[in-house]
Amino acid sequence: MGSSPADDDPSGGSATDSSVAQLSDEELYAIVRLAAEDAVLGAFGTLMLVGIGVVLVASSAPMLFSLSPLPMVFGALLAGFGAYLVLSSLRIIPPAREWL
């Protein structure tokens, strides 16, 4: 993502209403377009991760009820990872990068 003209405030402080009013229509359009694109991609990514997590949990259910121990363990790991993926993408639990 590129830097916006509002981020390049020479005073070092935060952008004020007067600095935003000094932006041209093209600059303001570029800033709003980048913000909207970021929001749409963030929502799409969250929906994709939740969908993948639900599929992992659903596909692990038959393995959890098998009679041999190896598929049961694999199913439990798959269900745990799917649950983690759903919960971390919805920010209910922190993602793994924040644990370290």
pTM of the model: 0.70
Torsion of CA 34, 35, 38, 42, to 10 degrees: -170
Q: Which residue has the tokens 């121990």?
A: 69
Q: Which residue ranges make up each domain of the chain?
A: 17-94
What CA–CA distance (Å, rounded) separates 46 from 54? Answer: 12
Give the list of residues 6+ apart from residue 23 with CB closer than 8 angstroms, or none. Answer: 5, 6, 31
1 confidence band (pLDDT: 50, 70, 90): very low
Residue-wise pLDDT for 55-64, tens only, equals 999 999 999 9
- Tell me what the mean pLDDT of segment 6-10 comes to: 51
Q: Each residue of 46-91: pLDDT tens digit?
A: 999 999 999 999 999 999 999 999 999 999 999 999 999 999 999 9
Q: Looking up tokens 């639990």, which residue turns up?
A: 93
